[in-house]
Amino acid sequence: MYKLCTVTYGTTSAPFLATRTVQQLAKDEGKDFPLASSVLLQDVYMDGVLTGEDNLIKAKDMQQQLISMFDKGGMELHKWSANNQSLLCDEMKESDYSFSQETKTLGILWKPQPDCFGFNLVIEQSEVYTKRAVLSQIARIFDPLGLLGPIITKAKMFLQKLWFISNCRNPESKRKGPLTSEELSKAEHYLIKQCQFKVFSTEVTAMMSGDNISNKSKILNLSAFLDNKGVMRVGGRLENSQLPYSGKHPIILPSKGKLTEMIVKYYHEKYFHLGPQHLLFQIRQKYCPIHGRNVCRKIVHNCVVCFKVKPKEYSQKMGNLPKERIIPDKVFSSTGIDLCGPFLIKNKYQRKGPEIKVFVCIFICLVTKATHLEIISDLTSQSLIATLKRFISRRGKCHKIFSDNGSNMVGANRALRDLNKLVRDRNESLYAFFAEENIEWSFIPPRSPNWEGLREANIKAIKYHFKRVAGNSKFSYEELLTLTTQIEAILNSRPLTPFSADVDDLEILTPAHFLIGRPITQ
């Protein structure tokens, strides 16, 4: 065994060892040097001693005790600085700190001779001063003791006035409270115009003067124009369509830039970490980023959350599609049912109450891929019948339902055994309900998950968004219901066909078009 006799710098424990050594020295030599012991226990910061006394005699006595105590520990004090020259001997005055006009103390400038603190402010000269620059200048002031409190308060009040400068210009119509949608829209258009002018300055200047843009421009094929607010948008040939204005003429964004990156990240996180194609579809409802497909791929590829939960993909040869998948029919006329879970929810009225297991029942239209999600409290036939009644009341009666046989779940945990029993035994109450509603209930063969690829893919999509948003969080019933409903809206707004890069193409088809005639997230 080896004993460490010195403090080794560079190790993780070095700061603790150095501080602990000084404290131990103060405790061991405290009887002989009471003034120095009190200073070491209270006025030592990192590797510096910052202290003082009311009169010169006590200060000299304390100084001598500090020198003697550190000498006992085999250490020597140096780099002395004092506001009285009599405290500095000739050897101490050899230090550069002794005659320095100012020295840093805990990040604050201290001028020893006038014995006062100082603050250096460097204001950069600029032709245009923004609120961001003012805020940055205020944040640079380091004042841990609060000595500049009155001055900083005035600076913050000045910044507050800048935010409400429009109230000063229009005192009769002062705006109070949180930002309105109109204010946010103005701010968004301002940032977009600044970004567009920075990247497409030649094109913007040409359009403002009524000239044609260059044939070498990257946006030549977009038929770009400036709207009444000065924002550059895509032209195209969809003016007479029933699409909203932002869908007919999306805002042009550069392929590179902080603003484009922030917008794409916002949509990626808003819609629960979409894949590149679905993400581009959501963005194209309002914006048209140059090389948008590559931009979306980069954002998804660099997303840490998506990287952590990305599974390994394996491909296999696919069989023929059943006729229910390829023959046109009404929405949810042929429906697949599956359950996923369990999910644990908490009782919001009890802080340490037991967690409750619930499941998510998935209904998916085999023709349009429209999805409907319901929360089911347990795996009894009564709960499943109630879930089916809610589904039929909202989406209409279906003629054929496909579900798992359940025999592949034998030997699983208790919850899965209950689910297995529910669908395997084909409860009489379930049969009576289906007979009453004139619904045909079909089961896939045992151990044949390839027969239910569409339902399994939908469960995968649900877990894709759920894991990225929820993680290991515990929700109340209302929170889980809200989350599943939002995921349902996202799944019903995903593209059914590959996304086209042609700006003249009409809106891409989604399952929501068969339900409400447009994407739910639009």
| Average pLDDT by stretches of 10, the chain with 522 residues | 74 83 88 88 82 86 88 84 77 51 74 80 74 81 80 83 67 69 86 90 89 86 89 86 85 91 92 88 90 91 85 69 80 85 80 82 89 86 83 85 57 44 57 70 68 77 82 82 89 82 72 86 76
Per-residue tokens: 357: 């297991």
Parent domain of 208: 182-309
Question: Rounded to an integer, what distance in angstroms lies between the CA atom of residue 468 and that of residue 191?
Answer: 30
Tell me which residue of 273, 275, 280, 281 sits closest to 304, measured CA to CA.
273
298 & 246 share domain: yes
> pLDDT at position 299, please?
93
Contact present, 112 and 97 (Cβ < 8 Å): no
Triad 287, 296, 268: Cα angle to 5°: 80
Indicate the number of domains in the chain.
3
Gyration radius of the chain's alpha carbons:
35
Tell me which residue of 210, 228, 207 sits closest to 219, measured CA to CA.
207
Contact present, 194 and 260 (Cβ < 8 Å): no
Domain end call among 280, 309, 338: 309
Domain end call among 77, 105, 123: 77
Q: Calculate the CA 304 to chain-centre distance.
A: 10
Phi, psi of 267 (to 5 degrees): -70, -35
CATH number at residue 423: 3.30.420.10
Question: Rounded to an integer, what distance in angstroms lies between the CA atom of residue 127 and that of residue 292?
Answer: 35
Q: Which helix (H) or strand (E) holds 361?
A: strand 356-365
Question: Rounded to an integer, what distance in angstroms lies between the CA atom of residue 388 and that of residue 209?
Answer: 63
CATH number at residue 300: 1.10.340.70
229 & 264 share domain: yes
Give a yes or no: residue 456 inside a domain. Answer: yes
267 & 346 share domain: no
Say if pTM beats, i.e. exceeds, 0.75. no
Tell me which residue of 399, 419, 400 sits closest to 409, measured CA to CA.
419
Question: Rounded to an integer, what distance in angstroms lies between the CA atom of residue 47 and that of residue 44?
Answer: 7
> pLDDT at position 295, please?
93
> pLDDT at position 98, please?
47
386 & 510 share domain: yes
268 & 385 share domain: no
286 & 377 share domain: no
Contact present, 422 and 379 (Cβ < 8 Å): yes
192 & 340 share domain: no
Question: Rounded to an integer, what distance in angstroms lies between the CA atom of residue 449 and that of residue 456?
Answer: 8
Contact present, 249 and 233 (Cβ < 8 Å): yes
Give a yes or no: residue 7 inside a domain. Answer: no
> pLDDT at position 449, please?
62
Q: Token pair 């000084």 is at which residue?
A: 22
Tell me which residue of 339, 461, 335, 457 sits closest to 402, measured CA to CA.
335
